[in-house]
Structure 1
Amino acid sequence: MAASDTLYYSHNLNPRVAVAVARHVGAPLRFVRADPMGRDRDAFRPINPNTRVPVLVEPGLTLWETDAIAMRLAARYAPGFWPQERREEVMMWVSWSAHHFTHWAGVLYFERIVVPRHFARGPDEALAAAAEAELAPFTAVLDAALAGRDWLVGETPTYADFRVASALPFAAQARIPLDGFANVRAWHARLQRIEAWRAPFAGLD
């Protein structure tokens, strides 16, 4: 990759993960904050017709979606972050996050953080309560998986950890219920000691 390769991002949940990955693996990217659903919509549509971020743009290659971007950057700069010999395990957690843990935690993030900032209506607390009920058994699964281990796959952090923890930096504001899940809380405290995870936007706008 050349230093001119560009990662378009915002401060929302999924772009935050992409920026954290890029900075953790030391990718020499140009970071551009974008508003593809607002002021940048028309200019952004040729880059990503979904008008969403993150997007990684390289000469001859444009990648939408956080997981694809993470796979690309890990392969280029830090193969151990998505280790080839354990790729199926990492992918298992990525898929589990998308369909279960982060899916329901994301409802809480959206209703309690995004809606008050960007919508005329208030949070749908009935929907949030239903999401909390759906989330609880998956939080218990994660807590059990972390018993006696520091990371989800292997002895060092991998993309599995970043992906499953996507919503947890917003846990207090989104009121994601973690009481009673000591292993999850300790695991995210370990992630918070990683500078790229704790402050992915440091020095960016």
Structure 2
Amino acid sequence: MKLYYHPISGHAHRAHLFLSLLGLDFELVEVDLLKAEQKTEAFLKLNPFGQVPVLEDDGVVIADSNAILVYLATRYGDASWLPRNPAGAAAVQRWLSVAAGEIANGPATARIINLFRKPVDPADAIARAHRILALVEASLAGKEWIAAGWPTIADIALYSYIARAPEGDVDLSGYANVGAWLARVESLPRFQPFIKSAVGLAA
């Protein structure tokens, strides 16, 4: 099994994290985004969208981080990671959509602006980040995990970019429930840390 990734990508990290949590044997293949290796002919055969991560598993190729989480949970995980009952599966899917939407457009975008020094005003991304963090904070009130009474791939999908939100000048200090939840994810067996960058509030 191979995971094509880049260490600063939160999308790639969520796949890397879940592979680690499941205790699977896999090879990391770094794709140099700065050299545009994700746009080469060879890589585009794996993922025509030209994005990491991509998972290769015994002839099966899965692109998109959330699709990889679903694949791994279904093939290698037990039903706790992705509940098989309709209501449980829907609860997880709701947060996968949040990870692909509000999280990507909020804390992830604010972080990218700082990491790559993009000449873009980060105010909108930071405001979006605080709006979704307020919803996550409220959703975690009285709960340990976001979609069920135990960790699911919804928690994995949300973790990386929320954990590194300060790199995009998004202050997490006002979100006590989120902070406690991050610590719980980080205490899971075989947790794989996400690389830290000295930018934004983390500088």
> TM-score w.r.t. structure 1 length?
0.82
Cα distance in structure 2, aligned partners of 1:25 and 1:160: 15
Given that residues 55 and 68 in structure 2 are in contact (C-alpha distance below 8 angstroms), is that contact kept between their aligned partners in structure 1?
yes
Rate the CA distance shift 1:105–1:39 in 2: closer, same or farther, 3 A: closer
Q: Show the counterpart of 2:28.
A: 31
Paired amino acid for 2:83: P
Q: Show the counterpart of 1:97.
A: 99
Cα distance in structure 1, aligned partners of 2:31 and 2:44: 12
Cα distance in structure 2, aligned partners of 1:168 and 1:106: 8
Q: Compare 31-40 and 78-87 and name the one that shifted more.
A: 31-40
Q: Compare 170-179 and 145-154 and name the one that shifted more.
A: 170-179
Q: Which of 181, 185, 197 is residue 179 of structure 2 equivalent to?
A: 185
Q: Provide the aligned length of Structure 1 versus Structure 2.
A: 189
Identity in percent: 28
Cα distance in structure 2, aligned partners of 1:110 and 1:196: 27
Cα distance in structure 2, aligned partners of 1:39 and 1:101: 24
Q: Show the counterpart of 2:129.
A: 135
Cα distance in structure 1, aligned partners of 2:188 and 2:178: 16
Q: Show the counterpart of 1:56.
A: 55
Q: Give 1:198 deviation, angstroms.
A: 4.3
Cα distance in structure 2, aligned partners of 1:180 and 1:22: 31
1:140 is paired with a residue whose SS is: helix
Q: Which of 145, 148, 151 is residue 157 of structure 1 equivalent to?
A: 151
TM-align CA RMSD: 2.1
Given that residues 166 and 172 in structure 2 are in contact (C-alpha distance below 8 angstroms), is that contact kept between their aligned partners in structure 1?
no
Q: Which of 139, 143, 148 is residue 145 of structure 1 equivalent to?
A: 139
Q: Give 1:104 deviation, angstroms.
A: 0.9
Cα distance in structure 2, aligned partners of 1:101 and 1:81: 20
Cα distance in structure 2, aligned partners of 1:93 and 1:133: 19
2:61 is paired with a residue whose SS is: strand
Structure 1 unaligned runs (5+)?
Answer: 117-121
